[in-house]
Structure 1
Amino acid sequence: MPYKEPKIEKMYYAIGEVAAMFDVNTSLIRFWEKEFDIIKPFKNKKGNRLFTPADVENFHLIFHLVKEKGMTLKGAKKKLEENREDTINNFEVITKLKDIRAVLLEMKENLEGEGDADKKS
């Protein structure tokens, strides 16, 4: 049986890593941290913010509501406060549908590529 590298989950992410995940500036990450109570980074002795995977998931929710759905910060806060569970469920469904769409598009490209190869033969 071949050796598989174990997938190592990071315990903390630096602010630069989180900003890179969402392709935003670190200043926006700091701003969202102040605006949303659900983001609670650990700060080391130097004062550097260290975000947990749970914080990153919360950033995914905020990013989805604000950047993808176009909600205001006030609207996103209200949505997370009033029905967080529904918001999380909707976000998970949308994420899974995007993944399925990507797989289907890849399959379509592969099938079209095979069709082009058959024509050349």
Structure 2
Amino acid sequence: MPYKEREISKMYYTMGEVAILFDVNQSLIRFYEKEFDILQPKKNKKGNRYFTPEDLENLKLIFHLIREKGYTLNGAKEYLKNNMATSKDNIKVITSLENLKKFLIEVSEQL
């Protein structure tokens, strides 16, 4: 079997790292934290936010609904309230397809 690199994932991501990952301002992430109940980053005594990988998945879901699907904030809240399990499954499928696309592009460039 060929060697497969393990993807290294962190337990917690800082607010700055999350803002860079999603290419948005930190204020937008703080705003979404107030608006959506599914975002619950951990806070230390200083008030710094630390996001778990689950929080990142929830953020990805929120950005997908608002930016790609065109939902309003209230529409996205209602959709998440009624279809949370389906939404998470859809995001997992989309993520795996994006990874497959990246892999196929890399293979075609090597040919």
- Normalising by structure 1, we get a TM-score of 0.77
Q: Which has the higher contact order (CA 8 A, sep 6+)?
A: 2
CA 1:104/1:10 → structure 2, altered by over 3 Å: closer, same or farther? closer
Aligned to 2:50, what secondary structure does the other structure show? strand
Aligned to 1:93, what secondary structure does the other structure show? helix
Alignment of 1:8-23 (within 5 A): 9-23=9-23
Q: Give the aligned partner of residue 52 of structure 1.
A: 52
CA 1:6/1:93 → structure 2, altered by over 3 Å: closer, same or farther? closer
- Normalising by structure 2, we get a TM-score of 0.83
Number of aligned residue pairs: 107
- State how far apart, in whole Å, the 2-side matches of 1:67 and 1:30 are: 17
Aligned to 2:70, what secondary structure does the other structure show? coil
- State how far apart, in whole Å, the 1-side matches of 2:83 and 2:7 are: 33
For structure 1, which runs of at least 5 residues remain unmatched after alignment? 112-121
For structure 2, which runs of at least 5 residues remain unmatched after alignment? none
